[in-house]
Amino acid sequence: MTSLYTLEFILHSKNSSAKIVKSALAEFGNDLVVSQCQEQGESRNYKVKMTTEDPTLVFDLCSQLGRIRSIKIA
């Protein structure tokens, strides 16, 4: 039996759009919501919420897209 984790975090990225982030994460979980929450020049912050079996894979992928902040795991 596998456990599902609910992840919520902010992804700070310079070169990604919400569509790119969502596309990259789609295969790693369910109930995926990516919304832009702040923009500063070329940088954008996206709020990500999803359920996944392996948070490590999600965070490894996101670290390639930008900086991860404000992590909540339930």
| Tens digits of residue pLDDT in 16-68 | 889 999 999 999 999 999 999 876 667 889 999 999 999 999 999 999 999 99
Taking alpha carbons only, the member of 7, 64, 5, 59 closest to residue 33 is 7
DSSP structure class, residue 42:
T
Q: Where are the beta strands (DSSP E) in the chain?
A: 5-13, 30-40, 43-52, 67-73
Q: Does the pLDDT value for residue 5 go beyond 60?
A: yes
Tally of domains within the chain: 1
Residue 16, domain extent:
5-73
User: Residue 54 — φ and ψ, nearest 5°?
Assistant: -135, 90
**In CATH, what number is assigned to the domain containing residue 61?**
3.30.70
